[in-house]
Homo-oligomer: A and B are copies of this chain.
Amino acid sequence: MVKITKNKDLEPVTLLCGGPEACTAREFLSKISDKWSILIVVILSKQKDHSARFGELQKMINGISQRMLTTTLRNLERDGLVTREVFPEVPPRVEYQLTNLGLGLIAPMKNLMDWIGMNWNTIKKSREGFDSKRK
Question: Could you list which residues of chain A lie within 8 angstroms of chain B, going by C-beta atoms?
Answer: 1-7, 15-16, 20-22, 24-26, 28-30, 32-35, 38-39, 42-43, 46-48, 52, 56, 59-63, 77-80, 101, 104-105, 107-109, 111-117, 119-120, 122-123, 125-127, 130-131
Q: Is the CB of A16 within 8 A of B2?
A: no
Question: Secondary structure at chain A's binding surface: helix, strand, loop or mixed?
Answer: helix
Contact of A25 among B21, B24, B113 (CB under 8 A): B113
Q: Is the CB of B60 within 8 A of A116?
A: no
Shortest A86–chain B CB gap in Å is 14
Contacts known (A22-B38, A38-B25, A52-B7); A78 close to B126, Cβ less than 8 A: yes
Chain B residues lying within 8 Å of A56, measured Cβ to Cβ, are: 7
Contacts of A105 in B (CB 8 A): 115
Q: Which residues from chain B contact A131 at a C-beta distance below 8 Å?
A: 78
**B residues in contact with A115, CB < 8 Å:** 104-105, 107-108
- State the CA gap A117–B22 with chains docked (Å): 9
A21 touches B113 (CB 8 A): yes
- In the A-B complex, the 4 residue pairs with the smallest Cβ-Cβ separation, listed nearest first, are A80-B126, A33-B33, A29-B33, A4-B60
Task: Contacts A26-B38, A108-B111, A117-B25 given; indicate if A127 touches B60 (C-beta within 8 A).
Answer: no
